[in-house]
Amino acid sequence: MQLQPKPLILKLLLAADGQQLSARDAISAGALFDIAENHIRVALTRLTAEGLIEATARGQYQLTPRAWTLAGEIRGWRESVAQLQPWNGQWLAVHCAGLGRSDRKQLAVRERALALCGCAELERELYLRPDNLAGSSEALRIRLQKLGEEQMVFQLSGLDSVRQQRAVGLWDCSALNNGYRQQTQILQEWLQRVPELSLEQAARETFLLGDEAIRQMVFDPLLPAGLIDAEARALYLNVLLEYDRVGHDIWQALYQQSNRSQA
Q: Is the pLDDT of residue 15 over 90?
A: no
Tell me what the pLDDT averaged over the chain comes to: 90
Q: How many CB atoms lie within 10 A of CB 261?
A: 8
Q: What is the CA radius of gyration of the chain?
A: 21
Average pLDDT over residues 228-233: 96
Average pLDDT over residues 129-142: 95
For helices 23-32 and 37-49, the axis angle rounded to 10 degrees is 130
Average pLDDT over residues 15-23: 82
